[in-house]
Amino acid sequence: MADFLAMGGYGVYIWPSYAMSAIVLIAATIVSLKAHRSAKKAVRQLEEESEREEGEMR
């Protein structure tokens, strides 16, 4: 197992690279989910505003 983790002496470079990649992917997912929620909220507000305006026009 230790040989696997050492990766032929390159484990010092490989494992931090994997960790940074995972952190970036997780951060990108979180940012995307927050942006999606924000966009859905904005659309919902615009739809409600549009419905109110249509009601006032009638």
What is the structure's pLDDT at 33? Answer: 98
What is the structure's pLDDT at 12? Answer: 94
The residues near 5 (Cβ < 8 Å, ≥ 6 apart) are: 11, 15
**pLDDT 10s digits, 14-55:** 999 999 999 999 999 999 999 999 999 999 999 999 999 888
CA distance 24 to 28: 6
What is the structure's pLDDT at 58? Answer: 66
Q: Which two tokens stand for residue 34?
A: 């927050």
